Amino acid sequence: MTSPFHVPEEYVQGLIKASQSLWQATADTAPDSLAQLQADYWRQQTSLWLGLLSAPGAPGGEAVVAPAKGDRRFHGAAWRDNAWYSLLMQSYLLNANLLDALVERARLNAKEKHKLRFFTRQFIDAMSPANFAATNPEVLKTAVETQGNSVSAGLTNLMQDLRDGRVSITDESAFEVGRNVAVSQGTVVFENALFQLIQYAPLTDEVAARPLLIVPPCINKFYILDLQPENSFVRFAVEQGLTVFLVSWSNPGASLGQTTWDDYVGDGAIKALEVARAISKADQVNALGWCVGGTILSSAVAILRARGDESVASLTLLTTMLDFSDPGDLGVFIDEACVAQRELTIGQGGIYSGKELGFVFQTLRANDLLWPYVTENYLKGKTPAAFDLLYWNADATNLPGPMYAWYLRNMYLENNLRTPDRLTMCGTPVDLGRIDMPSYVLATLEDHIVPWKSAWRTTRLVGGDTRFVLGASGHIAGVINPPAKKKRSFWTDGKASDDPQTWLDSAQSTPGSWWTHWIDWLRPSCGAKVAAPKRAGNAQYKPIESAPGRYVRVRAG
């Protein structure tokens, strides 16, 4: 099945299976329990209608049910003050509560119930009266006030998004890579078909002898780490006297349709470590990976240690999963049938569209990243505001089919990486326990992509001295939290335990950014101070072009 908005087949099939499972769950629910649910539901509906009939046209009075705190869909006064719209909203919320209750009573194992819960919520969110022109008072008011111009503008926005194959979430004309995002000064010093390596210019007279290599996720562009000077992790690291090298992954097209996971590990992370060390003339390199970039980097480091290579001095992992036993909401898209279908269609060659992956991430927070833009862009005819983070979020990256299918099966489906020597990469059995250098493992409390307890399990897999830190907020905001903002907090030094909750319950909370904590942890692994390099590259790896380079500018087609 194809969609102009690149809705993945897994999502469509998930909705279909959820409807079937919910029907079965209703049939399987104990009669007395189902009768109680129905009685409660009709009692509330009766109260709702009696309130309306007793005072037709008047404000709804005391609500039978209210939106959850922070639910912005029903923020407008008309949802409370107009009896008709109050009825619509409350009836919708009662129906949603009934479906939620049926899901919780379903006799399913934990994984299947999680999947049913997720896709039922997707249906509930989609059916909100706020998402339809005829049942949204603000949409109708805007149409009247603009004499129908909002309707015309909304149709124009919809047609443009249909051509682009995605729901716009920001004004993309306000940003340009290299002009007002990804602006830290640097030079591309190496490139192959898979990535460019950027060496950033020093901002101090002296630098640490050992450089920092950053491996970002290949499912997003690297410049989340370098959005603006005031929130750039790259700039922060350079200001601390580190020579920073960063991998800028290519945005694969048909020519890279045969690329494998091994290529990302060997021709990607391992090659980047080799080049960074050669240019800096250091004995060792400090390495940092984020999300799937951390999974790739950990695999590379484990391979190097198996080969007797001690070139990595320390490992930092930001919101990274190495144990996929609890992958969170992303796990609802993964089962044997789904993976086998991907292996059959693109596993031997082809490209997985970044726009499909982008849609999946939007559905994880549909009421923040999907439906508000449907309402504002199409129903009200507005142009989304300019926001650098959302510009990055919309800058999708494709993935090679063989790499993606292998990743789904061996990580998400079979969780093979956590078992020593079960996987062989680049001709070498992989045992994460061989990672015996100091490791800094950061998770974030509200992460909807890498649940923090899953990231915590890394401490049980890698060897060496491991420091676990838990940041406040989510997958992005919890990582991109510059000290100057003086926002959020982080937890450290919890009690050693096999249970992550025990660790958190005993951990120390510190206000502010984890960045300063990390740099203090890293300094012992940085080596002596040396004069800052006067130019990028060396005789072997000569400058190619200025940062941010060509690869990051390629858009997903």
Domain borders along the chain are 9-128, 186-347+392-499+515-553
Tell me which of 53-67, 271-285, 318-332, 410-424 is least confident.
53-67
pLDDT, residue 556, reads 87
Is residue 22 pLDDT above 80, yes or no? no
Tokens of 305: 């240690």
Is residue 65 pLDDT above 80, yes or no? yes
pLDDT, residue 306, reads 98
% of the chain residues with pLDDT over 90: 84
Band (pLDDT 50/70/90 cuts) for residue 420 is very high
Architecture in CATH of 186-347+392-499+515-553? 3-Layer(aba) Sandwich (3.40)
**pTM of the entire predicted model:** 0.94
- 353-378 mean pLDDT: 93
Band (pLDDT 50/70/90 cuts) for residue 24 is confident
Q: What is the mean pLDDT of the chain?
A: 94
Tell me which of 176-185, 251-260, 354-363 is least confident.
354-363
Catalytic residue among 218, 291, 338, 426: 291
pLDDT tens sequence across 73-123: 999 999 999 999 999 999 999 999 999 998 988 888 888 899 999 999 999
Helix residue ranges per DSSP H, 464-528: 500-506, 514-522
- 471-499 mean pLDDT: 95
pLDDT tens sequence across 486-519: 999 999 999 988 999 999 999 999 999 999 999 9
Band (pLDDT 50/70/90 cuts) for residue 13 is confident
Radius of gyration of the chain (CA): 26
Is residue 47 pLDDT above 80, yes or no? yes
pLDDT, residue 1, reads 43
pLDDT tens sequence across 294-339: 999 999 999 999 999 999 999 999 999 999 999 999 999 999 999 9
Is residue 59 pLDDT above 70, yes or no? no
Please return the burial class of 136, using the count of CB atoms within 10 Å of its CB with bins 0-12, 13-18 and 19+: buried
Any catalytic annotation for residue 218? no
- 518-538 mean pLDDT: 97
Helix residue ranges per DSSP H, 258-317: 261-263, 271-280, 292-306
Residue pair 242/276 in contact by the 8 Å Cβ criterion: no
- 160-172 mean pLDDT: 91
Q: What's CA 431's distance to the chain center, in Å?
A: 26
Phi/psi of residue 316, nearest 5 degrees: -115, 130
Q: What's CA 344's distance to the chain center, in Å?
A: 26
Phi/psi of residue 394, nearest 5 degrees: -85, -10
Distance of alpha carbon 216 from alpha carbon 294, whole angstroms? 7
Residue pair 515/225 in contact by the 8 Å Cβ criterion: no
pLDDT tens sequence across 201-234: 999 999 999 999 999 999 999 999 999 999 999 9
Is residue 58 pLDDT above 60, yes or no? no
Tell me which of 28-32, 356-360, 446-450 is least confident.
28-32
Query: Can you say whether residue 468 is alpha, beta or left, with left for phi > 0 and alpha for psi between -120 and 50 degrees?
Result: beta
pLDDT, residue 301, reads 98
- 444-467 mean pLDDT: 96
pLDDT, residue 412, reads 97
pLDDT, residue 105, reads 86
